[in-house]
Structure 1
């Protein structure tokens, strides 16, 4: 008789566990149904817009791939045109090279088109057609799509081509922004500006510019040497390291001192 209550409690526990399991299964089904209902409502409301966005994204990506392939093909054609023109020029067929560059140089934009334009300007200058060369240089200088260095070079070449016919004030206004230490064409632009100052009678400004060029270690030594001499003529000391300058010229300090002393006694 003592075992009966234990057996009955065991059956009750089993029954309770079964009921709990059934309740949990029912709750899961209800929860799943709610989720499915929410998903259906979400898809009914947003399914078409989301699908449209997906399609639009795929179309845009496909368009980018197409555009990229076209750009690459265009770059290859431009490169071939430049190489072909260079081959003609190096072979002595300047007129043929000039004609080959016409289509590419006439396009808007930078890169190959600007390079082709600068090459045509150089050929025109070489053939003595200064007006045509100047027109091309000005067009490159005003091209916002061109690299700043190429635009500056075009300005410098145009001034060099027309220096004798330009007013000193116009030369200074055009090249002074380039005549700054650290700029790519500082030495060349600075020389033009300094000589324009001399034409205006501004010896102090010219001497200061020549001195800047002479002290600029990034400028070509030939240009620095000319600038050093011009600065000296104008009474501006442009030598920071006397020994270095004497060494570049192959002169010893004692030898230079003896020559100066001999010159002073004469």
Structure 2
């Protein structure tokens, strides 16, 4: 390469460096701001996580301390005094409704508060309705229990299978054994139903004089050795 060409290349390189330096002086502060933003954002996230962890630990400690108290009345008073919101408030409401043997009326009242809480997530309300039917038992008329359970039994509801199980038990209570056996058998055959529910349904079918059918065999994945991976030996 001739000297003039080398000189031109050197000048061009110098111009590029000068242009890059001017650009950096003009826009370099943006990168600095971005770095500061990332550092501050990371710090805020870590602080929030630490606060949430400390809050969860305090909530758990308060619940455990409440359950260490001697009687149901003191436990309920201690649980009611715990500060909670969001998911913790929902969990606390379920805890308050978890001991019907000690105080059935208070348990039903706690469940009624959950059911009437419009801010509660639908899954929590469904669980409260199901729990209330179970706790109330025979004290609640069959027609009212059915009216409470039928919406929960609709497809895609989170506790659909459990609600249909309870509806089958209502049929037993009404003396409709054949209908109950058919409903329970349908649950056994349904994909995705837990083994515990299938076992309960089978036992009830046997008690009613029926013969439970075996649940469907779950599909298994194709063995690895049978998969054509496209590679030759």
**For the superposition of Structure 1 and Structure 2, which TM-score range results when normalised by the shorter chain?**
0.5 to 0.7
CA shift in 2, pair 1:225/1:75, >3 Å: same
TM-score by length of 2: 0.66
Instruction: State how far apart, in whole Å, the 2-side matches of 1:54 and 1:211 are.
Output: 62
Structure 2: tracts of 5 or more residues without a match: 215-233
Q: Once the 2 structures are TM-superposed, how far is the Cα of residue 67 of structure 1 from its aligned partner? A: 1.1
The aligned residue for residue 219 of structure 1 is: 197
Task: State the alpha-carbon separation in 2 of the partners of residues 93 and 200 from structure 1.
Answer: 38
User: 1:220 and 1:141 mapped to 2: Cα distance?
Assistant: 33
Check conservation: 1:124, 1:132, Cα contact below 8 A.
no
Deviations 1:146-200 (A, max 9, x none): 8x5x6554332111234524525413424424899xx8784x5344202434677
Q: Identify the residue that residue 143 of structure 1 maps to in structure 2.
A: 120
Structure 1 unaligned spans of 5+: 1-16, 242-266
Aligned to 2:95: 119
- Structure index of larger Rg: 1
Higher helix share: 1
Q: Deviations over 1:22-73 (max 9, x none)?
A: 974x456424421222112312432233333232222222211211111121
The residue aligned with 1:154 is 128
Counterparts of 1:77-88 in structure 2 under 5 Å? Answer: 77-88=58-69
The change in CA–CA distance for 1:72 and 1:169 in structure 2 (over 3 A counts) is: closer
Partner of 2:35: 54
Residues 170 and 142 of structure 1, relative CA distance in 2, 3 Å threshold = farther
For 1:179 and 1:239, locate their aligned partners in 2 and report how far apart those are by CA, in whole Å. 25
Q: How many residues align?
A: 206
Partner of 1:238: 211
Instruction: Indicate how the Cα distance of structure 1 residues 214 and 62 shifts in structure 2: closer, same or farther if over 3 A, else same.
Output: closer
Determine if contact 1:172/1:193 at 8 Å carries over to the other structure: yes
8 Å contact kept, 1:138–1:155: yes
Q: Is the 8 A contact 2:184 2:205 kept in 1?
A: yes
Shift of 1:126: 2.6
